[in-house]
Amino acid sequence: MFEGQNSIVRRGFLKRAGAFAAANPLKLLLPLAPSCALLSAQPPAAPQASNTEEQRYRMFQDYLVRRAAEVTENNLSGIRDLGDWKRKRPELRSQLLDMVGLNPLPTKAPLHPRITGTFERDTYRVEKIVFESQPRFYVTGNLYLPKEVNGRLPTVLYLCGHAPSPAGAKIQYQHHGIWLARHGYVAFLIDTIEFGEISGIHHGTHDLEKWYWLSLGYTPAGPEIWNAMRALDYLETRSEVDPKRMAVTGISGGGAMTWYTAALDDRVQAAAPVCSTWSVQSHTALDAVQENCDCIYFINTFLADLPLVGALIAPRPLKIISASRDVSFPAAGYHDVYRRSRAIYDLYGAGARVQEYDYPSPHMDILQFRKEADEWLGRWLNGDRAPFDEGKIEREDASHLKVLDHRPGDAINEGIDKLFIPTHSMQDWKTLAAWTQRRTELLGELKEKVFRAFPKSNPPFNGWKKAEDGWVTRYADAFHVEFTTEQGVRVNGQLFIPRDNKKSHPALIYVKRAEDIVYPIDYDVLLSAFESHVVLVLRPRAVDYPADRFRMATIKRTAALIGATLESMQIWDILRSVDYLSESEGLKLSGISIYGRKEMGALGLYAAALDDRISRVILDDPPATHWQGPALLNVLRITDLPEAAALVASREIVSLTQLPQSYAYTSSVYALFGKENQIHAVDSLGDALRVWES
């Protein structure tokens, strides 16, 4: 999402998109679902054949589109009148703050602003400014003022888009500051975290597989919004600024921050976001998520959509400016957001205060967009309806606008993604009663903030089963199976049933990772269990889809848009596989063990925490913390893996490898039950299952 100079990057995207469209001709043409009624159709009858990996992949893509449409359709759907909206507004605002990582708001520490230089031109002057939005978190910017200032002036905070320069993104957008200062405004252009004079990271999940961002509930939008709020704090200290006439505008990433800052800071009296308007439905159906930086989106814990942000700006003036040839922000999305936001403005009787404008342009900072934004802000800040004339603007060399001559040695900008979100600190529990209370509270938080998007109902399994005829049938009855875990999602695996004619058996569910799927006859680890245990080798969704790392990253980012992670969806698949064995297969089970290697074992812990029927979790080289994985929305704000494991107490946890030291915390909780021996290590899966007792 760079502006102007990103043609090479964009051509690379279009090449990838074209290749993907050729391989998946229906994916990019999926229609937006017109209503939830269409999405509630009855599931199909039990299949007569299994689906291929490609078919299940396509079904999952369709599922994402359907779920995204539900999010968009349901957002703000319960608002009936203005009184209803005003009653719900504080809670919805709090939810948005939470979803951008600003609940609670950080402490407003001293800004320590410094002016490092100034210069004058014919009708304006420029100050080079740095401040700290948090201690050691530096923000650089240029303040443009008319050369002659009489009284307090209307003020515009310009939030830059993604424009790379060692001197900061503000260099690319200086013409906005020049025009505004020439026309009687104070204009403050601040750099982004990514392309600031002190650089940070915006593309953590887009490029760098920093999936712990999801576990933190972190989006770069959080610190960007905070920097904008603190910039407004700074502007209020300036004698030239009228604090009752402040507005915000910006393009692309800066446009997204315009949306969020205006919604969350009531000091903003007018807003004009440019090339930055999206909806969950459009970005999923049109596969636009892959196009966008992490900063564009909030962590969608509460299943919201951008019209909520527009509603929180109402009834303050809002102009939505878009490019109809913008592949990052398709027209279907921005038209829908305008329509849904307008409904809240109409409740205020303020429909004229929200407008949309689009122009047949690609994603660029063009004259038409500057005209629409500046005329809009002038109308509402200054009562100015004079026609826009940009005139001649001479751009400064980057060296004239650079604020700092060196990077401060104590700057935390580059690591702000690890520091911005307060994480949960696990507490030692002295009594069983205290832990029991914590357990109840923690399960409630997990259901509210981590697993909120779990389905509210269970569709029929529509199971398919086919007998296997390979050598494994010498050990047990063997079947290939496939079943539905939620509407539109099919998972598959292999089922093995002992031939001993016993009325009940213990069960083992072996949850596969993608890395565990190499050859179809990898039964060695299970051989000792076949004659005594019902064994389900489960391939949850996405582990065997024909998707490369680029597509898988897009899937994971799209899952976050619908309030989930791929891993939380896989936990649901594990839970439904327990139901499948008893309900669809009609098996009587004397106990259920979940086994998974690495992160799949951690998912098994959560499944056991949510389902008491799971009597044992078998780990194999599990991660020590959610910083390593698996990714679950917001979980590091609430807990971490050792405490999640403690939710299983006092059922058995067995490890096939030495447990990380962090799980000593889990043992301390088990000690409250007098069950320290229920956590132990063995050398093999057969020993973990105690197959000789079965």
Residue 72 within any structural domain of the chain: no
As a whole number of angstroms, the distance between CA 411 and CA 371 comes to: 37
User: Cα separation of 134 and 410, whole Å?
Assistant: 12
Is there a domain that residue 309 lies in? Answer: yes
Looking at the structure, tell me whether residues 544 and 602 fall in a common domain. yes
pLDDT-derived band of residue 385, with 50, 70 and 90 as boundaries?
A: confident
pLDDT greater than 80 at residue 7: no
User: Which distant-in-sequence residues (6+ apart) come within 8 Å of 419 by Cβ?
Assistant: 412
Residues 473 and 381 in one domain: no
Q: Which residue has the tokens 């979803």?
A: 99
For residue 428, give the DSSP letter: P
Judgement on whether residues 412 and 550 belong to the same structural domain of the protein: no
Say if residue 554 is in the same domain as residue 591.
yes
CATH code, domain with 245: 3.40.50.1820
pLDDT at 16 over 50: no
> Tens of pLDDT along 504-548?
999 999 999 999 998 877 899 999 999 999 999 999 999 999 999
| Predicted TM-score of the model (pTM) | 0.93
The last residue of one of the domains, among 369, 388, 419, is: 419
The set of residues, in sequence order, having a beta carbon less than 8 Å from that of 392 and lying 6+ positions away, is none
**CA-to-CA distance for 196 and 199, rounded, in angstroms?**
5
Question: Under DSSP, is residue 665 helix (H, G, I), strand (E, B) or coil?
Answer: helix
Within-domain flag for 315: yes
Q: Residue 509: phi, psi to the nearest 5?
A: -110, 110
Question: What are the tens digits of pLDDT across the range 231-260?
Answer: 999 999 999 999 999 999 999 999 999 999
DSSP secondary structure letter of residue 329: S
Q: Does some domain include residue 62?
A: no
Spatial separation of the C-alpha atoms in residues 272 and 376, rounded to whole Å? 7
Contact 575, 606 (CB under 8 A): no
Q: Of 359, 385, 419, which residue is a domain's last?
A: 419
Residue 197 and residue 244 in one domain: yes
Within 10 Å of residue 389's Cβ, how many Cβ atoms?
Answer: 8
User: Are 134 and 106 a contacting pair, CB within 8 Å?
Assistant: yes
* Same domain as 226, residue 165: yes
| Strand arrangement of the beta sheet that strand 614-620 belongs to | 464-467, 477-486, 489-497, 534-539, 505-511, 589-597, 614-620, 652-655, 679-681
Are residues 611 and 572 in contact, defined by beta-carbon separation less than 8 angstroms?
A: no
Range of the domain at 218: 82-419
Q: What is the dihedral of CA 662, 664, 668, 669, to 10 degrees?
A: 50
How many CA atoms are closer than 13 Å to the CA of 525, on its beta-carbon side?
Answer: 20
pLDDT at 514: 94
Query: 419, 449, 480 — which closes off a domain?
Result: 419
pLDDT in tens, 412-470: 999 999 999 999 999 999 999 999 999 999 999 999 999 999 999 999 999 999 999 89
Residue 35 domain-assigned (yes or no): no
DSSP state of 391: -
Please check the confidence at residue 654 and state whether its pLDDT lies above 90.
yes
Q: Verify that 185 and 286 share a domain, yes or no.
A: yes
**609 and 586 in a common domain:** yes
Quickly count: other Cβ atoms within 10 Å of residue 52's Cβ: 11
Q: Are residues 439 and 394 in the same domain?
A: no
Q: In this structure, are 88 and 183 located in the same domain? A: yes
> Tokens 């690890």, residue?
418
Q: Are residues 109 and 131 in the same domain?
A: yes
Q: Distance between CA atoms of 236 and 607, rounded to whole angstroms? A: 51
484 within a domain of the structure (yes/no): yes
Residue 51 domain-assigned? no
Same domain, 362 and 441: no
Residue 122 belongs to some domain of the structure: yes
Alpha carbon distance 335, 356 (integer Å): 8
| Dihedral sign from CA coordinates of 284, 286, 292, 298 | negative
Report how many domains make up the chain.
2
Summarised one tens digit per residue, pLDDT across range 354-370 is 999 999 999 999 999 99
